Structures are given as structure tokens and as C-alpha cells.
Amino acid sequence: MITFHAEEQRLHAAHSEFNRGRLDVPYERPERADIILSAMQHAALGAVQIAGEFTLEHAARVHDAGYLAFLQSAWQRWADAGRHGDALPTAWAVRCLRSDRIPQSIDGLLSWYSFDTATAITPGTWTAVRRSMDVALAGAQQLAGGARSAFSLCRPPGHHAATDCYGGYCFLNNAAIAAQFLLDKGLRRVAILDVDYHHGNGTQEIFYRRDDVLYASIHADPATDYPYFLGYADERGEGLGEGCNLNLPLPRGTGWAAWSAALTTALAAINDFGAEALVVSLGVDTFEHDPISGFCLASTDFPGIGAAIAGLQLPTLWVMEGGYAVEALGANVAATLAGFQSAV
Ligand code: Q9C
Ligand code: ZN
């Protein structure tokens, strides 16, 4: 399995996220990619390559044009307003406010296009985000060319990014863009399996009314955990997409027994769907010592995730999402992929 990455992904480097009543150094930091890259270089799972460049038209297949224009120009507009620190939003168009007027100022626009205080825009954010998309697409291109699998070491992650919203450390939805790329190359049905601790609200929203992509996710119950406002079991898809969305929320404290039972359920749904390829949103923030999460998977559990997914016998693109226990991050990612590789 080839691992794809890009040096410029480290250019997204925020000073802070607002969390638990204080400004913290962001958990989603550049060294995450360096750590995973180093683990992959030592894991002997296959070649490690720099991704080539792809056009933004691939992103425009799943994201709003105004949103993409905003993301490209946001830092410059912030700097033009005389700001030097991280660009963060300050207000949102929630239930009691209007959401039919797009603001004109950079402060209004940051709020319009975002949904949390954890996702700063910095001078290098757009370059990093673009390259993270390239990394996802390079992996998808491998699958389109007949590869059994590829690992897209994306950073920043993507699964919280919706059609026209960023948040949860995510700007472009790398997994969704990759899945759409595979459909555009002629596949009829693609499944996305999201094993990150958090519900991939963005991926769900993008495909919610469609029947060509199944979204299946195992995640912390939104009643207690981020992103709080999506990810319940009764969200099953709408219209054509009815039945093509499977949420398997689990309580804090969940360990391997219940988590792997949910994985079995998700894999059966993917099999029944008749997917021709699988995109895995790979978060390892399910790890017992993750600093912002509440599941209890041990490092020794991760190979079993890879092996179970290999059992689907589908072309499989692994797209990196979350995972913040930096001391174990590289080992947990490599262990998942090694479990897959030894079972194919
Ligand atoms: N107190 C990913 O794993 N902060 N994003 C939550 C809860 C945002 C996680 C704060 C977490 C986003 C890709
Ligand atoms: Zn996560």
C-alpha cells in the first residue's frame, strides 16, 4: 500500500483553540503528520510518496463555490483588516437569528462559514488544506488505477467539513472528495466507513440525500460529545438517500467488545449496499489515552480494525482523520494498516 503525503500540510499551524474555558495549543498540530509519516517509513507497509497536484474542481464537486472562494481568501481578508493572530469566528446564525443574509465583513464571514471555536485559519491554512485534498486524491487515483489499497496521510483532517461549513479542525472534506472522485471515474457505489471517535457530520451532510454513497459511522454519542448536533441513530438519510446513512453512536467508556460489535454491524451494511470501493475515515482518537476523547480502545485493538475491514475484500482508501495522543499516534495508525495488510 502506497502512503501519500505532502510537505505543505504542515503549513496549517494555529496558535490556539478555545476549549474547556481556555485557549489551548491546538490538539490538531503539524507534528501529527510528521509522527505518522515517520511511523509509515519504519513500518515497511509500502512506498511513501509525495502527492501530485489536483485542480480545485474536485473539491467543487462536493463543496459550495462561495465557501471555496471564502476559504481561499480568508487569511488575506483577515490580514487586510489589520489582524495578526489566528482567524477565529465569534458568533453563529443559530435558531433565533436569520440565516438568509450572508455577511460582508471578514468577521461575519468567518462566523457564517464555521461552526466552532477549535478551527483557526492561519497564513498557511489554505495551502495546507489544498495539499491535504491532493493527498486524498492521489490515493483515490491509485484505487481508480486498480490498486487494492492506499493510505492518504491527510492533514488537516476533513470529516467535519460540510458542503459550506468548516469546523472540528476540518476545511475540505478529503474523504468525501475522494469518494466523489471514484464515482466520477465510473464507480457506481462507494461506501465511506468512519471510525474516528467523532461523528463525521460533514460527510453525512454532503451525501445525505444520495443513494450512490453509503455513510456508516461508529462514534461517541452526540448527546455528550462533539459535534453535538448530528450523529444520532435516527439519521438514516433522506429522499433518494433514505437508508444510505448508518450512525452507530456509543457511550463514553466504550471498549473493544462493544466497539467491534458496532464495526461488524457497519461492515454488514457496507456489504449489503453493494459498494465497489471503500473509503475509510481513519481516526485513532478512539484510543484509551486520547486527550480529547472518551473511548477505551487499546493499541493492541487497532490491528483488528484493519483485519476486519480487509474482510470486505473491497478496494480500500484509508484517509487520515483524528487522533491526538501523539506518543501513540504513529504506532496506532501503523498497527491498523498492518492489520489490514496482513489480512488481505
Ligand atoms: N470539548 C477530529 O477528530 N473540539 N476533530 C471538541 C470538546 C473539537 C475533532 C471540544 C474536536 C474536533 C477530526
Ligand atoms: Zn475525531
- 0.85 cut: is pTM over it? yes
DSSP letter, residue 234? T
**Structure-block grid coordinates of residue 279:** 473509503
Is 160 part of the annotated catalytic residue set?
yes
DSSP letter, residue 173? -
Instruction: For residue 81, count other CB atoms closer than 10 A to its CB.
Output: 11
Considering only CA atoms, which residue is closest to atom 12 of ligand 1?
A: 168
Q: Taking residues 83-108, report their average pLDDT.
A: 96
Q: Atom of ligand 1 at shortest distance to CA of 157? A: 13
Q: Taking residues 130-155, report their average pLDDT.
A: 98
Asked if pLDDT for residue 19 goes beyond 90, the answer is no
Percent of the chain with pLDDT over 90: 99
Asked if pLDDT for residue 178 goes beyond 90, the answer is yes
**Among 67, 127, 128, 120, CA closest to 89:** 120
**Structure-block grid coordinates of residue 173:** 472534506
Residues with CB under 6 A from ligand 1: 19-20, 118, 157, 160, 168-170, 196, 198, 226, 283, 285, 292, 321-322
CA of 226 to the centre of ligand 1 (A): 6
Contact between 231 and 199 under an 8 Å Cβ cutoff? The reply is yes
What pLDDT, on the 0 to 100 scale, is given for residue 134? 99
Give the tens place of pLDDT for each residue, 179-197.
Answer: 999 999 999 999 999 999 9
Percent of the chain with pLDDT over 70: 100
Report how far apart the first and last C-alpha atoms of the chain are (Å, whole number).
Answer: 11
CA of 27 to the centre of ligand 2 (A): 11
* Residue recorded with cell 471514484: 182
Q: Taking residues 71-88, report their average pLDDT.
A: 97
Q: Taking residues 15-21, report their average pLDDT.
A: 92
What pLDDT, on the 0 to 100 scale, is given for residue 205? 99
CA of 47 to the centre of ligand 1 (A): 31
Contact between 267 and 192 under an 8 Å Cβ cutoff? The reply is no
**Among 255, 344, 340, CA closest to 303:** 340
Helix/strand/coil for 128 = helix
Buried b (16+ CB within 10 A) or exposed e, 312-344: bebbbbbbbbbbbbeebbbbbbbbbbbbbbeee
**Among 129, 160, 177, 154, CA closest to 12:** 129
Give the tens place of pLDDT for each residue, 237-276.
Answer: 999 999 999 999 999 999 999 999 999 999 999 999 999 9
Q: In a mutational test of the pocket of ligand 1, which residue from 171, 226, 280 has the highest number of ligand atoms less than 8 Å from its CB?
A: 226
- No. of H helices and E strands in the chain? 10, 10
Catalytic option among 159, 160, 199, 219? 160
Instruction: Tell how strand 190-194 and strand 213-220 pair up.
Output: parallel
